[in-house]
A and B are shown apart, each in its own frame.
Chain A
Amino acid sequence: MAKELIKSNEAVVKGALLAGAKCYFGYPITPASEIAQAASYYFPPLGRTFIQAESEVAAIQMCYGAAGAGVRVMTASSGPGISLKQEGVSYSAGSELPVVIIVIMRGGPGLGNIAPEQADYFQVVKNGGHGNYRCMVLAPNCGQEMCDLTIHAFEMADKYRNPVYVLTDGFIGQMMEPVEFPEAMDIDERAKADWALLGDAETKGNIINSIYLDQDELEEHNRKLQRKYARMKAEDVLFEEYRLDDAEIATIGYGIVSRVLKSAVDVCREKGIKVGLLRPITLFPFPEKQVAEIANRVDNILVCELSNGQMVEDVRLVGCRGKAKISFYGRMGGNVPTVDELAEQITKVAEGGDIDG
């Protein structure tokens, strides 16, 4: 295990290459550009492909092609670019192609700014594209997870033949932390993708397609996809719990917010407030059971996001039948709350006050 102090955006690229990624197709955008830059530096010397595409639209379609050819492939962008990629994501989901997409969120809507936000939850987790599809979404909150969850994303993409997002914010993308890298994997495309077009007699009968003119056939295809998403919910939910055992207040956050919350939980615990943290690591599949269970157990849930309140909708959806009162505190525009700020919100909740988030 090699340990390196590395920018998270670069850890993504090294992790991807160790996971056997063969192709990177991308387009520059702050705060995700280091991913494309590192890919352009490391992919070619390994005999792998880096292409700076003409557009985000093209980059994801190149991924569609390479995934159809059976190789591990990735792209990365930020909100405005992800808006453009939605076409290709829908097609990849429809044609059941494993594509890994890294999203480093910035401020929006429109051009917004390049500071960290979490306002792309809806378009990434709930699908910005057309059709009845879902993508698995992994939400790292540190450099190590930027590597590990990128590798996991490739594994999950292959397991389900489905696009997988790694979703984080500009803050996590830009930070440096020590990362321990695993050994390089050897990926056998023939073994992993017997459904793909490998350019030979054995696989030429395969077809990569999302068109089903017959209504019943398309419905059956959609039902098959829904079964796949149900399997994700049953088998591959990831989350982290922190000091929740005896908690009366549960905070919920992901990405950079989960780290500020963790510190705020410690500060409040010292003041005697029984508070803990639930950090969803998979945003889809969302840790529904855990949230429902916590909502039955604690008095208060405080969801914090760098948004107008997007993930909180998922919390409310599964937590609404519990006894806990669900509050939301959000910052926007690229502002990241301080530890004291969140500790203050937790204290307010503990004292029975309302949050005007």
Chain B
Amino acid sequence: MAKDILKKPDALYEVYHRKPGEDKKNIHYCPGCGHGVLHKLIAEAISDFGVADRTIMISPVGCSVFVYYYFDTGNIQAAHGRAPAVATGLKRANPDTIVISYQGDGDLAAIGGNNILQAANRGENITVFFVNNAIYGMTGGQMAPTTLVGQKTMTTPYGRSVQNEGYPIKVVELLATLESPAYLERCALTDAKNIAKTRKAVRKAIKCQIDGKGFSLVEVLSACPSGWKLTPVQAKKWITDRMMSYFPLGVTKDVIDEREGYHPEKVKLTGDRIEEILGLKKEKLFRDKSMSEVPEQYRNPQIKVAGFGGQGVLLLGQTLAEAGMRHGWNVSWIPSYGPEMRGGTANCQVHISENDIGAPVVDFPNILIAMNKPSLDKFEPTVQPGGIIFYNTSLIDRKPERDDVETVGLPFTDIGDELGSLRFANMVVVGAIIEKTRLLDEDIVKEAMKEVIHNKKFIPDNIVAIERGMAEAKKLE
């Protein structure tokens, strides 16, 4: 056993060419540190499974930041704690790769706590090796989330106190409460027996990913003689005597055999198919119309549509804008959004123009649609002289006061109700606008409405509503 782990597996470089300095043969870790042994166990498994070429190792922040010196695989370095998120990106981008996140206790359980929890919970098909040495090694021996109660570190000089720092985090127990992970085990790099168990766990975790069974994590209790200020021999004994009683070894979750392997299918679509799915292949009715065919006062109109939320004012505006576009004109539509929207009133502003549209806001409309009284009160004074106001007499008990604008009062809500639903009131307005302004052609507006409304089963009703609006407006003449 001990002999086996001394042999360098193929997935480790023969010469560590990325390592700075003269010594390209030996690892940079301190004597007695567990990283070197774990590197070999992982490399050996990668080599034996024949996946070295498609493996990507993620180097974390911590002592193992230089994982990439050693592994003859793809290598990427990640920000502190973010390796599970980086792993997610790598794996989702290319599910054929074998993605291994190698993390220490500060990285995984402190700054990256949410990242590991959420990657585990998504069931990312990645493998995580979690080296728990109860201390921050690289930064010089500060407290880790796994530092034992009473343990002295550079930032717990009086020993970790339950009152001040709480208890150490038990990662594999915590993650075992989740449904998604496939395999979770805690091992230790102490004696030959435990190293053999670790080797088995490492292989099982990598195989789990190769087979598409989902998230696996192996926590490895590992010595940090420098950080603990112990000799390598004392350090191993410290794991056995102190760590194992708080961090018991063993499997906390294993549902690998119950899982079907999942290997996402590679999809390659033609450009035509992509455009079709994006809805860009629809045949649309377009007809160029010159503004000179429109009565002068309604040319290049600026339109404001206002009312209660739920009256369909946004869709009303969108229908006008869609229809305007289909006449070959420039259009813009903007909603009022934010607090106003939630306060129960809604408005949108539409430009339809032969020219380029500068500011898309409508401060001074020449077509105002007021679906309730607050809207009429607020916007009537802003209408341009010579403009037109459509107002909903079902909900507005006064006539507009302006005498320099045209006014069209109709009981839009009542008419909609009569047609079967309040939701048709907005298209009754659209019909009235077609009739009174001669801006938009009826057939194109109907096509525009079909595009804009969400529930296509209401298309026939909305066509009736448009026609009814036109008829009612005509009656006013």
From B232-240, B334-342, B417-425, the one touching the partner chain is B334-342
Interface string of A64-78 (1 = CB under 8 A from B): 111111110100000
Residues of chain B lying within 8 A (CB to CB) of residue A65: 76, 78, 85-91, 93
B184 interface hit (Cβ, 8 Å): no
Residues of chain A lying within 8 A (CB to CB) of residue B280: 2, 4, 14, 181
User: Which residue of A199, A208, A266, A336 has the most chain B CB atoms within 10 A of its CB atom?
Assistant: A199
Q: Are B115 and A66 in contact (CB under 8 A)?
A: no
User: Which residue of B93, B117, B282 has the most chain A CB atoms within 10 A of its CB atom?
Assistant: B93
B52 interface hit (Cβ, 8 Å): yes
From B1-9, B142-150, B268-276, B395-403, the one touching the partner chain is B268-276
Question: For residues 328 through 362 of chain B, which have their beta carbon under 8 Å from a beta carbon of chain A?
Answer: 330-335, 337-339, 356-361
* Known contacts A88-B82, A210-B77, A259-B358; A177 and B338 CB within 8 A of each other: no
- In the assembled complex, the CB of B178 is this many whole angstroms from the nearest CB of chain A, namely 13
B394 interface hit (Cβ, 8 Å): no
Residues of chain B lying within 8 A (CB to CB) of residue A262: 356, 358-359
Interface size class of A (residues with CB under 8 A): 35 or more
B460 interface hit (Cβ, 8 Å): no
B191 interface hit (Cβ, 8 Å): no
CA of A62 to CA of B93 in the docked complex: distance in angstroms? 10
A58 interface hit (Cβ, 8 Å): yes
Q: Are B361 and A336 in contact (CB under 8 A)?
A: yes
Interface SS of chain A = mixed
CA of A203 to CA of B54 in the docked complex: distance in angstroms? 9
Q: Are B333 and A260 in contact (CB under 8 A)?
A: no
CA of A170 to CA of B237 in the docked complex: distance in angstroms? 61
- In the assembled complex, the CB of A125 is this many whole angstroms from the nearest CB of chain B, namely 22
A105 interface hit (Cβ, 8 Å): no
* Known contacts A61-B85, A210-B77, A259-B359; A115 and B338 CB within 8 A of each other: yes
B174 interface hit (Cβ, 8 Å): no
Q: Are A175 and B85 in contact (CB under 8 A)?
A: no
The residue from B74, B77, B322 contacting A199, defined by CB atoms under 8 A apart: B74
* Known contacts A64-B86, A176-B334, A209-B77; A69 and B361 CB within 8 A of each other: no
Residues of chain A lying within 8 A (CB to CB) of residue B53: 199-201, 204
Q: Are A61 and B82 in contact (CB under 8 A)?
A: yes
* Known contacts A66-B90, A114-B337, A199-B96; A53 and B359 CB within 8 A of each other: no
* Known contacts A46-B269, A181-B280, A200-B54; A114 and B85 CB within 8 A of each other: no
- In the assembled complex, the CB of A72 is this many whole angstroms from the nearest CB of chain B, namely 9
In the complex, given contacts A5-B325, A62-B86, what are 11 additional A-B residue pairs having Cβ atoms less than 8 angstroms apart? A2-B282, A4-B279, A54-B114, A54-B118, A69-B93, A88-B79, A113-B339, A178-B330, A256-B360, A259-B357, A338-B361
8 A-B pairs with CB atoms under 8 Å apart are A49-B93, A51-B122, A54-B114, A65-B78, A199-B53, A204-B73, A259-B358, A262-B359
